[in-house]
Amino acid sequence: MQPFELPDFYSPWPARLNPNLEAADMALACAIIYPDTSISELNITACWIVWGTYADDYLPALFHDSHALRGNIKS
């Protein structure tokens, strides 16, 4: 692979962090994703991210592969 130069990254919005950082379990990730939420909303967001991460790791381990997972979900 040939060396290359990375382009300058541009974002029209400044990087911000939620001031309620210490209030959530997944504090840093949630505070970066949602910089304008209240403490209670930040905590709810953290709970959803923890649950989603757990489900994302648990279900494939439970069903051993993605093909089995699709066949076991009922609509």
Q: Is the pTM of this model over 0.85?
A: no
CA distances from 15 to 2, 7, 41, 46, 56 (A): 32, 19, 20, 20, 28
Residue 65, pLDDT score: 60
Q: Say whether 56 sits in a helix, a strand or coil.
A: helix
Q: What's the pLDDT band for 54 if we cut at 50, 70, 90? A: confident
Q: Say whether 4 sits in a helix, a strand or coil.
A: coil
Q: 2-23, pLDDT tens digit by residue?
A: 888 988 888 898 888 878 777 6
